[in-house]
């Protein structure tokens, strides 16, 4: 029993309650201070938990309600390597975001920090929980805090993004809860390991399939996987930059991680016979997301919206790693989303600096208007997104690509293409904004989004810029430099091997039996994946230069315009896509898993 385990949830929620009660009577810096101290503490606890999960999970039963004779009645937090890592990343992103917003907003009421803290508490709970219903509760708490944070600020644009966010995510959560209800009806359990043990003996009948479909779809909505991604681009485009950092860096990653976190302990038993078909479905979803996210990112002029589509593309690559259903590819996804999440967070903060200076994050309007220092950060971030060896995310992608054997040998090519599109979009924007290359008219990219505040450009004091750029640089250094941690890929694979060993994991959670300690090793990246990484980076630079100096008129074709028009911004359309997506996924399950 480890007393540290509940603290990442308890600390932010308690601090939020106290701050909500007394914040209005205290000076503004008090909120900044509380949020900063709590997020640094949560980061530190996350790192400590991560170092303790090397040999076994940390299982914490609230109120001491331990399972008796293998039957869990209590509610558990089950901290594995991926959960602890994502929890630490969430704390770090929050700390950077708080430091950044200290100088970003002209004025924030105390409620901004209250909302941030509630969001952090929900994120931590979601990352650490080992109980299916608690996953739903923390998911909803995340959504509720996020709706309010998306709408934070007084420009007219945020409202539509906040509405789309709330309604689409609301439906995602209902589907999840519906699935939970069905699984509880079958097994009488809510603990993940307990449900899994109860289902393991049976076969994959209709109820298990529908339960799996609904639960997975609920998480995929949160992760922003095509065709459930529409809300995400709208919400990011309108939320304040320091808030986007938390969405992009950790919320989407957690949604994705939850798919693996639930699949392996719960469904891997009854669905084991259908692994081939399931692999095909999940990899297809991931590939479509990766390519569509990259392509849409390339067609954006609003930088925050561009980064939203970059997120969708990168999450797609992560889903491919989960969908391959092997320990190595799962470890690859964990490394990939953690490293990439930090880089995306850093890029969003750099965009925030731009907004603070020239009151716009429009690629064409901001041509030649960026600070050189930000330009360096942005370009490094763009190359990291493309996966240039040996940055942090490269090792993750290499594990995913090298895990693609058998009929999936084509995957490195597709993932390279997706990375070229995402990286190329970011480098194109970097070239135009920070070097002034290219033209400031590109009709293909459409009208300017989310009209900026009609204000004169502000000239924030030097001190503010230093604080803002330092928080961005810190995230970038951690995200890119993760690769320097010796043996990190091996540790990730060891953790993933434990995750996918369902019977041993169930015995660990329900009977407290220590898992067999196998130290797995990660193979060094193969020549193919190094070549894929180099090709992605070179391709991204080439694509950016081509776009800057060749123009984008060649893209003004009907399919491209149709694709852009699909992202209509109307919430009723998005719910239609959500329904159609779940129906299609269900049909694929029925056909493939018969």
Partner 1 sequence: MSYLPYALAVWLLVVGLYGVVTSRHLVHLVVCLTVAQSSTYVLLLAVGYRKHATAPIFKGIPLGTKATDPVVQALTLTDVVVSVTVLALLLAVAVQVYVREGTLDPDEIPAVRG
Instruction: Report the site for partner 1 in 227-246 (rule: CB under 8 A).
Output: 233-234, 237-238
In the stretch 394-433, what mask flags binding to partner 1 with x, by CB under 8 A?
----------------------------------------
Nearest to 72 by CA among 25, 154, 131: 131
How near is the Cβ of 136 to partner 1 at its closest, in Å? Answer: 8
From 52-60, 182-190, 240-248, 490-498, give the range in contact with partner 1 by CB under 8 A: 182-190
Nearer to partner 1, 112 or 394 (CB): 112
With beta carbons less than 8 A apart as the criterion, state whether 496 and 325 touch: no
- Residue-wise burial string across 278-303, b where 16 or more C-beta atoms lie within 10 A, e elsewhere: bbebbbebbbebbbbbbbbbbbbbbb
Residue 434: which residues within 8 A CB-CB, separation 6 or more?
Answer: 370, 371, 372, 374, 375, 378, 379
For residues 30 and 133, which CB has a smaller minimum distance to partner 1 in the complex? 133
Site for partner 1 in 295-324 (CB under 8 A): 299, 302, 305
74 touching partner 1, by CB under 8 A? no
Per-residue binding string, partner 1, 435-474, x by CB under 8 A, is -----------xx-xx------------------------
In the complex, what is the shortest distance from the CB of residue 1 to partner 1, in angstroms, rounded to a whole number? 24
DSSP assignment of 496-514 equals HHHHH-HHHHHHHHHH-PP
* 160 near partner 1, rule: CB under 8 A: yes
Report d(CA 404, CA 138) in Å as an integer: 33
Name the token pair of 527. 């020549």
Between 163 and 288, whose beta carbon lies closer to partner 1? 163
Judge if the upstream peptide bond of residue 390 is cis by omega within 30 degrees of 0: yes
**Listed residue (350, 307, 303) closest to 475, CA to CA:** 350
Question: Minimum distance between the CB of residue 179 and partner 1, rounded to whole angstroms?
Answer: 10
Q: Which of 31, 110, 161, 332 binds partner 1 (CB under 8 A)?
A: 161
Provide the β-strand partners of residue 426. none
Query: Please, which residue, 152 or 395, has the CB nearer to partner 1?
Result: 152
Q: Which of residues 110-139 bind partner 1 (CB under 8 A)?
A: 133, 137
Determine, following the binding rule CB under 8 A, whether residue 196 of this chain makes contact with partner 1. Answer: no
- Measured distance between the N- and C-terminal CA atoms of the chain, rounded to whole angstroms: 43
Give residues with Cβ within 8 angstroms of 388, minimum separation 6. Answer: 394, 533, 534, 536, 537
User: How near is the Cβ of 169 to partner 1 at its closest, in Å?
Assistant: 9
What helix, strand, coil percent values describe the chain, rounded to 5? 75, 5, 25
**Cα–Cα distance for residue pair 83/339, rounded to 1 Å:** 14
| Binding status of residue 190 toward partner 1 by CB under 8 A | yes
Contact 296, 306 (CB under 8 A): no
Output 52 or 564, the one with its CB closest to partner 1: 564
The answer to whether 363 contacts partner 1 (rule: CB under 8 A) is: no
Of 561-580, binders to partner 1 (CB under 8 A) are: 564-565, 567-572, 575-576, 579
Per CB under 8 A, residues contacting partner 1 are: 133, 137, 140-141, 143-144, 147-148, 151, 156-157, 159-163, 166-167, 170-171, 173-174, 177-178, 181-182, 184-185, 188, 190, 233-234, 237-238, 299, 302, 305, 446-447, 449-450, 564-565, 567-572, 575-576, 579
């Amino acid at each position: 029993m480890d007393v540290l385990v509940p603290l990442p949830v308890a600390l932010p929620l308690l601090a939020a309650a106290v701050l909500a009660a007394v914040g209005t009577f205290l000076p503004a810096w008090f909120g900044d201070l509380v949020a900063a101290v709590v997020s640094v503490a949560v980061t530190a606890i996350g790192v400590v938990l991560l170092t303790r999960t090397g040999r076994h999970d940390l299982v914490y039963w609230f109120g001491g309600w331990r399972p008796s004779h293998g039957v869990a009645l209590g509610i558990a937090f089950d901290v594995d390597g991926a959960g602890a890592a994502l929890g630490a990343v969430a704390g770090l992103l929050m700390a950077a975001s708080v430091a950044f917003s200290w100088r970003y907003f002209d004025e924030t009421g105390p409620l901004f920090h209250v909302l941030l803290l509630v969001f952090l508490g929900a994120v931590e709970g979601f990352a650490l929980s080992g109980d299916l219903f608690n996953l739903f509760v923390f998911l909803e708490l995340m959504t509720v805090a996020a709706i309010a944070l998306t709408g934070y600020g007084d420009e007219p644009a945020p409202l539509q993004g906040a509405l789309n966010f709330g309604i689409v995510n609301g439906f995602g959560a209902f589907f999840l809860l519906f699935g939970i209800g069905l699984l509880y009806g079958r097994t009488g359990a809510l603990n993940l390991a307990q449900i899994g043990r109860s289902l393991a003996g049976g076969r994959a009948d209709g109820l298990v399939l529908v339960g799996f479909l609904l639960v997975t779809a609920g998480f995929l909505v949160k992760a922003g996987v095509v065709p459930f991604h529409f809300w995400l681009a709208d919400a990011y485009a309108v939320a304040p930059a320091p808030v986007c950092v938390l969405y992009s860096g950790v919320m989407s990653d957690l949604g994705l991680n939850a798919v693996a976190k639930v699949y392996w302990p719960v469904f891997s038993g009854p669905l084991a016979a259908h692994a081939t078909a399931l692999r095909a479905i999940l990899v297809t979803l991931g590939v479509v997301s990766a390519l569509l996210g990259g392509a849409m990112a390339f067609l954006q002029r609003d930088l925050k919206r561009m980064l939203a589509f970059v997120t969708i593309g990168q999450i797609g690559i992560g889903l491919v790693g989960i969908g391959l259903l092997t320990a190595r590819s799962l470890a690859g996804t964990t490394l990939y989303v953690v490293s990439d999440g930090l880089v995306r967070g850093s890029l969003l903060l750099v965009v925030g600096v731009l907004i603070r200076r020239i009151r716009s994050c429009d690629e064409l309007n901001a041509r030649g208007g960026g600070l050189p220092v930000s330009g360096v950060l942005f370009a490094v971030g763009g190359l990291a997104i493309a996966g240039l060896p040996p940055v942090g995310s490269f090792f993750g992608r290499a594990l995913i690509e090298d895990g693609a054997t058998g009929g999936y040998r084509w995957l490195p090519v597709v993932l390279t293409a997706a990375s070229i599109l995402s990286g190329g979009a970011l480098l194109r924007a970097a070239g135009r904004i920070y070097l002034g290359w290219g033209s400031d008219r590109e009709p293909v990219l459409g009208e300017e989004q989310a009209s900026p505040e009609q204000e004169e450009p502000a000239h924030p004091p030097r001190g503010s810029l230093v604080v803002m750029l330092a928080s961005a640089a810190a995230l970038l250094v951690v995200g890119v430099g993760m690769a320097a941690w010796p043996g990190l890929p091996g540790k990730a694979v060891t953790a993933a091997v434990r995750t996918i060993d369902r019977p041993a994991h169930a015995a660990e959670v329900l009977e407290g039996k220590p898992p067999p300690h196998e130290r797995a090793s990660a193979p060094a990246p193969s020549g193919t994946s190094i070549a894929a990484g180099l090709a992605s980076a070179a391709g991204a630079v080439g694509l950016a230069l081509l776009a800057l100096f060749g123009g984008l008129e060649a893209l003004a074709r009907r399919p491209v315009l149709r694709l852009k028009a699909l992202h209509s911004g109307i919430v009723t359309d998005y719910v239609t896509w959500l329904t159609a997506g779940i129906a299609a996924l269900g049909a694929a399950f029925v056909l493939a898993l018969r």
